[in-house]
Structure formats: C-alpha cells, structure tokens
Chain A
Amino acid sequence: AQKVTQAQTEISVVEKEDVTLDCVYETRDTTYYLFWYKQPPSGELVFLIRRNSFDEQNEISGRYSWNFQKSTSSFNFTITASQVVDSAVYFCALIVSGGYNKLIFGAGTRLAVHP
C-alpha cells in the first residue's frame, strides 16, 4: 500500500527564517512520482513540483528547494528566507506508476509566517 506522512501538523516561523517541511512516503513500487502542492488561505491548490523516482537531484526554484532521498523515502521541502506570503498549507503527494493515476496525499503541514 502507498502512504504519505507529513508529521508536522503546524509550523510557525518569523519572517526571513528558513523552514523545512518534511515528507516521508511508502511504496513498494520502483517507479513513482512525488508532488508538492500549496494551499494558501484563499483555498486553491497550487502545484509546486513533480519529481520521478529515478531523479534524485535536488531542485531549487527561487527561495524553494526540494531534497529527495530514496534511502530514507523522504521528499522534503525547504523555504529559504520565508515571507508572510508563504503562509499556507503544504501537501506532499505520491502517484505510483502502473496503476491508474490516484494521487495519495499527506495530511498537510500548515505553515504560518509571522512578520
């Protein structure tokens, strides 16, 4: 069975702090895809990144970076120099190749960035 665990329910930081959101996944499949989505207070779900299981290179996009480690089944998300606009719920998700494309979501981490 597939599962995504986001152990951090809520994180509170002060603006300009770096913050890392943890994501641990479980799957027996060798081909899979990992995602991060952002849900700001307005409620929409915004796609941030997609990663396949064969690409363990870290990715950086502006202040956002992602660390994918198959050895620990983790796909962590770091925001550098956080800003108030980063306040949102962040979801990690998993799709396993070979089945139909059922997106398995974690419970989400609520990030509050205070000025």
Chain B
Amino acid sequence: DAGVIQSPRHEVTEMGQEVTLRCKPISGHNSLFWYRQTMMRGLELLIYFNNNVPIDDSGMPEDRFSAKMPNASFSTLKIQPSEPRDSAVYFCASTLGSVETQYFGPGTRLLVL
C-alpha cells in the first residue's frame, strides 16, 4: 500500500518567493496534518484537517502560511512570501479516526536563502 506522499522532497528557494508543498494522504484516511520540524523547536503541528475541513490552524506561524485541502486525496501548504526562518523539514501525516496512529510522509526539506 502506498504511504503518505509528499512533493517535492527538497526545495531551495530565495527569500520572497512563493513555495507550495504538496501532500497525498493514505487512501481512506480522513484526517490530515501538517508539521514542521526544526532543530530549535522540534516537531510542531501547523494545521489539522478532518474530512477536508481545517479544524485547528493555531500552529500556523503567521499569515504568510496557508493550507488547503480541496479533496480527500490532496492538500497543499503554501508560504508566500518565504523567509529564511521558514527553512525546515515539513511533514504531512494522515490517520483514520481521532486517536489512531498518524502515518507520516517522507517530508519536504525546505531551504530559503
């Protein structure tokens, strides 16, 4: 079975550019999460979708970040404009049910110069 798919795996961009990260959850899962991992802050939950609806976006750093889930099989996380402090690994995870295991994608390593 295919796991969570993320693209791109690596992204290098310049400050001020728009960055779009993509995620395809495991088929049949109804919850999707975006996390960010940095050395300083560890793993942080950015936003959580349930049945394609954003439930909690309190972890989104600021208005430069936005996330969408237009259907059950696709989500995007957009940063516009990007800044060097956004450099991190961004993970997408999905699950079925409220307390079930979250399965993570391979992550997107973002470097903003």
Q: Report Cα–Cα, A102/B55, bound state, in Å.
A: 11
Query: Contact residue range for chain B?
Result: 20 to 34
Contact B106 A50 (CB under 8 A): no
Please state if B99 and A101 are interface contacts (CB–CB under 8 Å): yes
Chain A, interface residues (CB within 8 Å), range: 20 to 34
- A50, A52, A105: the one contacting B43 at CB < 8 Å is A105
Would you call A84 an interface residue if the criterion is a C-beta within 8 Å of the partner chain's C-beta atoms? no
Secondary structure of the A contact surface, majority rule: strand
Check A103/B45 contact, CB under 8 A, given A43-B89, A45-B91.
yes
Residues of chain A lying within 8 A (CB to CB) of residue B95:
101
Contact with B along A52-94 (1 / 0, CB 8 A): 1000000000000000000000000000000000000001000
Query: Could you say which residues of chain A place their CB within 8 Å of the CB of B33?
Result: 103
Pairs of residues from A and B, 5 with the lowest C-beta to C-beta distance, nearest first:
A45-B104, A105-B43, A44-B106, A101-B98, A33-B99
Question: Footprint of B on A, CB under 8 Å?
Answer: 33, 35, 37, 43-47, 50, 52, 91, 95, 97, 100-103, 105, 107-108
